Copies of this chain bind each other. A is one copy, B any other.
Amino acid sequence: MRIALLGGTGDIGEGLALRLARDTDHEILVGSRDPEKAREAVEEYEGTLAEHGVDADLKGFANEMAADRADVVVLSVPPYHVGDTVDAVADRVDEDTVLVTPAVGMQGDEDGMHYHPPGAGSVTELVAQRAPDGVPVVGAFHNLAAGKLADLEIEFDLDTLLVADDADAKKRVRDLTNEIEGLRPLDAGPLANAAEVESVTPLVINIARYNDDLEDVGAKWI
């Protein structure tokens, strides 16, 4: 399978690229608005993977090219770029492509981070609204601390919650998530339940801030 990480030069993109390249046999396409930046990131990731004894072969492309070649397209961009990114790749994806969105709208103030969803109710539902007809959307990887994800020294035991209306697409992302070591996919229901999933992201940041013995906090649902 080919997995494109649009905005794959960012924090969550880096972590997913490294974990997927290390733990799975899928082809990883790192996308960026600037293809040169994507290729630089690929070199850096390959270096990191080599340090961990992994002979990986990633590829860097402009977002559109990465999406065009992929079976699963992860929109690992900030929430305010998600809509534009979907539009940019709209004619490169079809019913056989799964769009995956991990983005969360947040605003910080002196007290902490607060959930700040778009008018669609959640970023996940915004992506579903903007996606071309028939292209399935799955919300996943929302509440993972980027630092923990990108540090291959850390063996974690975390959960990630999936929301989707399309059962086949959800299963594909569930299977993919199961291939990442230490990451358990759990079902949180249809896209309409995305807000409750997304709002955990500001919470884990607040927990890390207010508890000295915790950093890069993640959730385990037991």
Interface positions of A (Cβ within 8 A of B):
109, 111-115, 157-158, 161, 186-190, 192-193, 195-197, 199-200, 202-204, 206-207, 209-211, 214, 217-222
Given contacts A161-B207, A207-B161, contact A115 B214 (CB under 8 A): no
**In the complex, A204 Cα to B210 Cα: how many Å?**
22
**In the complex, A207 Cα to B158 Cα: how many Å?**
15
- Give every chain B residue within 8 A of A200 (Cβ-Cβ): 196, 199-200, 203
The answer, among B188, B195, B217, for a CB contact under 8 Å with A221, is B217
Inter-subunit contact A206/B196 (CB<8 Å): yes
**In the complex, A173 Cα to B199 Cα: how many Å?**
25
Inter-subunit contact B217/A222 (CB<8 Å): yes
Nearest CB on B from A98, distance (A): 19
Inter-subunit contact B158/A222 (CB<8 Å): yes
Interface SS of A by simple majority: mixed
Inter-subunit contact A195/B161 (CB<8 Å): no
Inter-subunit contact A111/B217 (CB<8 Å): no
- Give every chain B residue within 8 A of A114 (Cβ-Cβ): 192-193, 195-196
Given contacts A196-B114, A196-B199, contact A221 B210 (CB under 8 A): no
Closest B residue, CB atoms, query A191: B111
- Give every chain B residue within 8 A of A219 (Cβ-Cβ): 219-222
- Name 17 A/B residue pairs within 8 A (Cβ), A-sorted: A111-B190, A111-B193, A112-B188, A114-B193, A114-B195, A161-B207, A186-B210, A186-B214, A187-B211, A189-B209, A193-B206, A197-B203, A200-B200, A204-B221, A207-B221, A219-B220, A219-B222
Inter-subunit contact A112/B199 (CB<8 Å): no
Nearest CB on B from A38, distance (A): 33
Most buried by B among A190, A195, A206: A206
Inter-subunit contact B188/A210 (CB<8 Å): yes
Inter-subunit contact A115/B207 (CB<8 Å): no
**In the complex, A109 Cα to B109 Cα: how many Å?**
32
The answer, among B111, B115, B193, for a CB contact under 8 Å with A112, is B193
